[in-house]
Structure formats: structure tokens, C-alpha cells
Structure 1
Amino acid sequence: MDQRVIETVRERKPLIHCITNYVTVVDVANMLLSCGGAPIMADDIREAEEITSICGGLNINIGTLNERTVQSMFAAGKKANELNHFTILDPVGAGASSLRTRTTFRLLDEVKFSVIRGNISEIKTIANGRGTTQGVDADIKDAITEDNLFAAVDFVKKLSKKTDSIIAVTGAIDLVSDQDTTYVIRNGHPMMSHITGSGCMLTAVIAAYGTANPNCLLEATAAAVCAVGLSGEIAREKIREIHGGNGSFKAFFMDVMSQMNDEKLKEGALFEIR
């Protein structure tokens, strides 16, 4: 990985427009600040395009959809495309309801996304037009394992070609892929699934890394996934020392991310390229 990906983020301080869900909005804002970016949240149709125009990147997260925010997502997405800005879609719970699934496919039809990030069930919904998503969590039958890794890599490469987007599938094993190259990433800790919003925070970090590093989007996306996973690993060790729980983990998670740099990432990133 490029040794200046994180340094570039901290130098450029990319402003990211987030139309995200109200469950994790504060966590997303704080994680963006921790990774070196800057957040702005504007989901009213009367300002969505205008705010998008002053930002470098757009993060669309469908976690808590309503008619008002859906309109803003389309307006902001089209404006971002017009300006050639970085865009990322987090199709939270796609496949769990008809509204989420329809909205996901409409967004993919009408907006060009630089990156699509989700769990394997959400990504399979995009690929197949249907899914078995259980709420916003991946269906256990869809888990990426060492046994099905070869097929999973082939799957994400084909989907990247189909969507013309980088695909980031996150879980116990993470995959970040364009149509030719896949990063297989093994950073992270199960404790990350015990707090609300770890996926939403990751999507925001990808937005910051991608916006700041437009000439190496695949590498920047992989670096973001590694950095967030590594932060989870280190945070888990820190709470072990103090016998802490979920609340302490979340605080340390952001603390570690705020201190992440390219040297630490190079030392701790666990990935292979296929």
C-alpha cells in the first residue's frame, strides 16, 4: 500500500457530505474527524445539491430511509456525478424490505458510485436482485470463509465490472475489489460487531480516504478497511487491559483511529492480493 494514503487524508482534510442514518450520524461525524476528514450532514432537498457542490465526497447510507431523504440522495448523487466527486453507497439492509431494495436499485441506476460497501448479504442482493438479509446484519449462510474465498473473489470482480464500481465486502474476511484485483483483508475483531455503527463509520472513512486519494481509489479503499479493522484490534487490546466493555471499546476505537498513520498501517495491515 502507498505509504502516504493516510498522510494525504490528514493534509487535505476532505469535506464529506453524509446523507446517513440517524442511528449512527454522530459516530460517523466523529469517525470522519478522527481519520482526518471533515463531516457535513445535509439531508433536506432544499440544500442537498448546494452542500454537495462544496464538498469533495458524498456518502449515501440508506440505514433509515424516508421519503424526504430519498429525494435528497438522488439530488446529491446526481450533483456529485456532475462535479466528478467521489461517491460511496452503503446499502444498509438491502434485501430486508422492498423499500430498501427498490431504493438501492434506483440509486444504482441513476447515480454512478465510486465504491459500494456492504456486508455480503447486501452485496449479493445488488448482484442478484434479491437477498436473504436479516435486518441489517449479514445472513450467516452468506459468510465469506476460507472454503469459499476463491468463489467470493470471482464474485466481487464480476460485480465490480457490472457496476463499474469498486466493491468492498466486509465481514470476518473483507474483500476490496475492482474487476481485476482483489484485496483479501483479515484485520478486525469480533468486538466491532458489538457496537452500533462500525460499518457506517467504515463507509465514512472510505469516503475520506477515497476523496483525498482519487488517483488510487482501490488502494485507498483497501487502506481504509485495513485501518478501521486494525483500530478495532488495538482497541480490543486496550479494553482487555482495563477490563472494559462495549462503551470503552467504542471510545478506544475512535482514539486509535485518530492516531493511525501510514507507518502503523504498514506494520499492522493483514492482506493479500488476488
Structure 2
Amino acid sequence: MSLQKINEKKPLIHCITNYVVANFTANGLLTIGASPVMADAFEEVAEMTRIANALLLNIGTLNDRTVQSMLAAGKSANEHQVPIVLDPVGAGATAFRSQTTHTLLQQLKITLIRCNIGELAAIAGANWQAKGVDSGSGELDVVQTAKMIAKKYNCLVIVTGKEDVLTDGQQVEIIAGGHERITKITGSGCLLSAICAALLASSNEPFEDLAALLREYKQISLNAYASMGTFHENFFNQLEQFAEVRV
């Protein structure tokens, strides 16, 4: 299973992420055996990325300083063949977020974009009604748009929702399942992006393993459901169980 591969490899994941989810993301990565580091100072990000096994760029709480740090870290990642996951949180909600997303895509070689439907629409320039950092509403052919973006930027694309879509521009996997309560936990999508980064650092078959990860993540959210008060704890317990290396 994909989470087991991460636990076996124990990769170092450099996360430049948002302050809302930093603790949740770090704990989630630790739960599955990865090592998180949350360095975002411009003076050190290139050096930190050089020793990492994957880089996560999450634009959830943007400012000018972190944008420059993301660019510096991303260029270091490209130079040292470190995979990059871009989580364009809230792209389309403001001009700053949309411009930052396009700048990162234009200046860096991104390995994987992990987004929701609204963020995908913003990247594609499609007509969409954004709702803050939530997916919003509109009409969009998700599969064809995701394939188009994957081809344009020569990367993998994951679009999460009631059904997750994974594509490399040619192959497509659609993964159903999960529990809607997962959307009530702040950072569940951001953590998935970080876990995708950990998997890219641990896999020789990224498309197949990412598809397996999406299935596992949906099953974990389903297994964790009991009540809202215990969902958070159960979710981490399920992550740990799925990542356990069985002999």
C-alpha cells in the first residue's frame, strides 16, 4: 500500500505551507513515518530543499515574503531533482492568489498539482464562482480540464472532491468513496497534498501509487467516522494503521 511505502522510506518533506494547517500537516506526516520540516525563511529555504526528499508549496496564507521563499525553494528543488507538489489553496478567490499560482507554474517545474475543482478552474482560466478557499460553483468538465492542465505543465494533476480525479494528461483514474465529514476538518486536503509529496519521494510508480493513496485516504476518512468530536483522533489512528509496515 502507498502509505506503507512512505513509512518504509521515511522521507524528509520540506513544507512551505500555511499557518492554519502547519501543525496538523506535521503531525500527519509524522504519523505515517515521514519527517516534516516547516522552513519558510528566504535565507534558508534553498538549502533546506536541497537536503529534502520532496517539497510542498501551499499558498493558503500568502504574503510577499513567502512567495519569494516558494520560488527560491522551488528553483532549488528543480536543480536537485526534488519533486514539488503545488497546493494552490484558494486560487481564483483573489487576484494575488491567482497570479501567485501562475507565477509558480511558469517559473518552476511542478511534479503534481493537488487542487479542488474551483482551483482547477482558476488555473485553467475557466468561468467559475469562487467561494474563498472552498471549491465554489460553476460548470466544468473536470476530467478534460485536468488532462489539459497536466499536458500544459507536463505534470500530474489531482482534483479532489466527491470523486477524486488523477491524470497525467493521458491516463485518468476516478476514485469515489470516503466520508463527507472529512471536509469539516481544517487541513485535510492540505495534509493530503503533503502526503502526496511524501509518496512522490518514496515511489518508483507515481501514477499507480497516487491512485492507491487516494483510495486509502477515502477509506481512512470512512473508517474514522464516529462523531465529529472523535473524528480527528480516529483519523490519525487510521492513518497510522494504514501506514504500518506488515511483515
Quick check: TM above 0.5? yes
- Segments of structure 2 that go 5 or more residues without pairing to the other structure are none
The counterpart of 1:252, out of the listed 207, 221, 234, is 234
The counterpart of 2:206, out of the listed 208, 217, 242, is 217
The more displaced of 126-135 and 108-117 is 126-135
**Contact between 2:128 and 2:136, CA under 8 Å: does it hold in 1?**
no
Name the % identity.
41
Query: How far apart are residue 44 of structure 1 and its match?
Result: 0.4
User: Equivalents in 1 of 2:82, 2:116: separation in Å?
Assistant: 24
User: Equivalents in 1 of 2:244, 2:41: separation in Å?
Assistant: 37
Normalised to the residue count of structure 2, the TM-score between the two structures is 0.94
Query: How far apart are residue 153 of structure 1 and its match?
Result: 2.1
The counterpart of 2:174, out of the listed 156, 181, 184, is 184
**Contact between 1:94 and 1:125, CA under 8 Å: does it hold in 2?**
yes
User: Equivalents in 2 of 1:263, 1:231: separation in Å?
Assistant: 16
Query: Who is 2:196 aligned against?
Result: 206
Query: How far apart are residue 137 of structure 1 and its match?
Result: 0.5
Query: Who is 2:40 aligned against?
Result: 43
Query: Who is 2:103 aligned against?
Result: 106
Query: How far apart are residue 33 of structure 1 and its match?
Result: 1.2
Query: How far apart are residue 152 of structure 1 and its match?
Result: 2.7
Is the alpha carbon distance of 1:83 and 1:33 closer, same or farther for their aligned partners in structure 2, counting shifts above 3 Å?
A: same
Q: Deviations over 1:58-99 (max 9, x none)?
A: 000000001111110000000000011111000000000111
Query: Who is 2:11 aligned against?
Result: 14
- Give 3-state SS (helix, strand or coil) of 2:158's partner: strand
Is the alpha carbon distance of 1:164 and 1:12 closer, same or farther for their aligned partners in structure 2, counting shifts above 3 Å?
A: same
Query: How far apart are residue 263 of structure 1 and its match?
Result: 9.8
The more displaced of 130-139 and 171-180 is 130-139
Letter in 1 for 2:215: C
**Contact between 1:96 and 1:131, CA under 8 Å: does it hold in 2?**
no
User: Equivalents in 1 of 2:111, 2:216: separation in Å?
Assistant: 19
- Segments of structure 1 that go 5 or more residues without pairing to the other structure are 145-150, 265-274
**Structure 2 residue 153 is the aligned partner of structure 1 residue 171:** no
Number of aligned residue pairs: give it.
246
Letter in 1 for 2:152: K
Query: How far apart are residue 228 of structure 1 and its match?
Result: 1.6
RMSD: 1.8
User: Equivalents in 2 of 1:263, 1:189: separation in Å?
Assistant: 25
**Contact between 1:206 and 1:220, CA under 8 Å: does it hold in 2?**
no
**Contact between 2:6 and 2:243, CA under 8 Å: does it hold in 1?**
no
